[in-house]
Amino acid sequence: MMDPLKPDTLLATLGRDPDSNAGLVNPAVQRGSTVLYPTLDALQNVRREYGRVYYGRHGTPTTIALQDALTALDGAAGTIIVGSGAAAISTAMIGFLSQGDHVLIGDCVYEPSRKFTERVLKRFGVTATYYDPAIGAGIAALITPRTRVILVEAPGSQTFEMMDVPAIAAAARARGVVTIMDNTWATSLYCKPLALGVDISVQSATKYIGGHSDILLGAIACNAATLETVRAAFGDFGHHAAPDDCWLALRGLRTMSVRLERHHATGLKLAAYFAGRPEVKRVLHPAMAGDPGHALWKRDFTGASGLFGVVLQPTTRAGLAAFVDGLQLFGMGYSWGGYESLCLPANPAHARTAVPWTENGQLLRIHAGLEDPRDLIADLDAAFARRAAAEAAAPAP
């Protein structure tokens, strides 16, 4: 008997079966809506089950290949693929909620998760309490008899606050509450939410799984207790994931480990560079020694991705514009996880209620891409020089 395969080997082998595809290494893109049944018996006895092909909306063999790969990586009972990470979060939550129920939402979660809670769930009579990301086992005090779902995200993708995921998951399980973790930052390579006691791990596959800034997809990896509920919600809302995008996600998986190693290393190099700049107040990166979340990151994660935060010393708007407008290698835009570097001014203050964001310096969200870090640092050196010139020309009043 061989030992269980290591993650890098899994990435090279999962979700493909050359024998069933003319010997070709990769599976085919199989598009389709209608599935034909040759006989009345076949039509009436079709098994409309997870992992089977019976109508295109529920997946073709290409979708199932991606599901199987992600299920193995996450140690899940099954994975539901939807058209975006945002759909993955709302679909994972909604199946467990009824009028009068209560949800607990980390104060640092992805902002559209918060908007879904405020705009949709509240309208249907579901109440929400936002909790301090540092709450840990203290979450038990916020669980009411109507609490059904706890949403965790670590680190938060704007403020990079860590959470004690096992402590929150244990408190939830003791009370029969479903925990859902947004694991987009670490991916299923660097954090295994289900092994930490979480019921459902959600990822925006748009980010590192796709890895090339050219698809949108979401993945919901469920344990055995939650899979059928999530699968029903997926069907009831009419979700679908395009086979072409599933195929690109499978292709992305093959190189995800080597890409992430570089994102991790370059991210830490850039974080150290920023930490050494006098114009920087604080770097937010849980894999950096000294970060408030470092001990939790070390305990629960095996690596870091390329996304982190930088709080600048206060500057003028012209100083900020001079910094970002002339960047040659860092693009300014939403999303992340592709091969290219990004620098995005962000303001978490308006999306906080439990623990206000009180930093007065501008937050920059940095995505370390796969470029040579020496070129990236030269680009940032020039940006700081432009900022200094702009501040000297028009000092703050």
Ligand X SMILES: *Cc1c(COP(=O)(O)O)cnc(C)c1O
Q: Is 235 within 8 Å of 110 (Cβ atoms)? A: no
Site residues (CB under 6 A) for ligand X, limited to 275-334 = none
Nearer of residues 62 and 113 to ligand X, judged by Cβ: 113
The 3-class SS string of 82-134 reads ECCHHHHHHHHHHCCCCCCCEEEEECCCCHHHHHHHHHHHHHHCCEEEEECCC
Nearer CB in complex with ligand X: 217/311: 217
Q: Out of 16, 68, 110, 114, pick the active-site residue.
A: 110
One-letter identity of residue 60 = T
Distance CA 179, CA 24 (A): 40
Q: Closest separation between CB of residue 156 and ligand X, Å?
A: 8
Nearer to ligand X, 147 or 157 (CB): 157
**269 carries an active-site annotation:** no
157 binds ligand X (CB under 6 A): yes
Cα 396 to Cα 305: distance, rounded to the nearest angstrom: 36
Of 192 and 207, CB closest to ligand X: 207
According to the binding rule CB under 6 A, does residue 85 interact with ligand X?
Answer: yes
106 binds ligand X (CB under 6 A): no
Which of these ranges, 36-44, 83-91, 339-347, 380-388, lies near ligand X under the rule CB under 6 A? Answer: 83-91
**218 contacts ligand X (rule: CB under 6 A):** yes
**Set 16, 148, 192, 207: catalytic member:** 207
- Binding ligand X (rule: CB under 6 A), the pick from 79, 179, 184, 305 is 184
Q: Is 168 exposed, middle or buried (0-12, 13-18, 19+ CB in 10 A)?
A: buried
Helix H or strand E encompassing 373: helix 373-393
Residue 182 vs 300, nearer CB to ligand X: 182
For the four alpha carbons of 30, 33, 36 and 41, in that order, the dihedral sign comes to positive
Going by the DSSP 8-state scheme, the letter that residue 239 receives in this structure is -
**Which residue's beta carbon is nearest to the bound ligand X?**
85
Residue 115 annotated to the active site: no
User: According to CB under 6 A, which one of 90, 204, 223, 341 is a site residue for ligand X?
Assistant: 204
Contact 293, 161 (CB under 8 A): yes
Strand 342-346 vs strand 127-131: parallel, antiparallel, or unpaired?
unpaired
Measured CA to CA, the distance from residue 221 to residue 297 in angstroms comes to: 21
Between CA 366 and CA 345 the distance in angstroms is 9
> Can you tell me the distance from the alpha carbon of 249 to that of 29, in angstroms, rounded to the nearest whole number?
12
- Decide if 8 is catalytic: no
Name the one range near ligand X by CB under 6 A: 200-208, 253-261, 347-355, 384-392: 200-208
The token duo for 71 is 């299920």
Shortest CB 185 distance to ligand X, Å: 6
Least gap, CB of 210 to ligand X (angstroms)? 9
Residues 384, 388: Cα–Cα separation, whole Å:
6
* DSSP structure string for 63-81: HHHHHHHHHHHHT-SEEEE
Asked if 84 interacts with ligand X (CB under 6 A), we say yes
- Told to judge if 57 belongs to the known catalytic residues of this protein, a careful annotator would answer yes
Q: Which is nearer to ligand X, 100 or 333 (CB)?
A: 333
Closest CB to ligand X among residues 131, 208: 208
Asked if 182 touches ligand X (CB under 6 A), the answer is yes
One of 164, 182, 245, 300 is an active-site residue; which one?
A: 182
Distance, in Å, from the CA atom of 17 to the CA atom of 5, rounded to the nearest integer, reads 17
| Interacting residue with ligand X among 82, 86, 162, 172 (CB under 6 A) | 86
Q: Supply the residues annotated as catalytic.
A: 57, 110, 182, 207
- Residues of this chain that bind ligand X (CB under 6 A): 84-86, 110, 157, 182, 184, 204, 206-207, 216, 218, 335
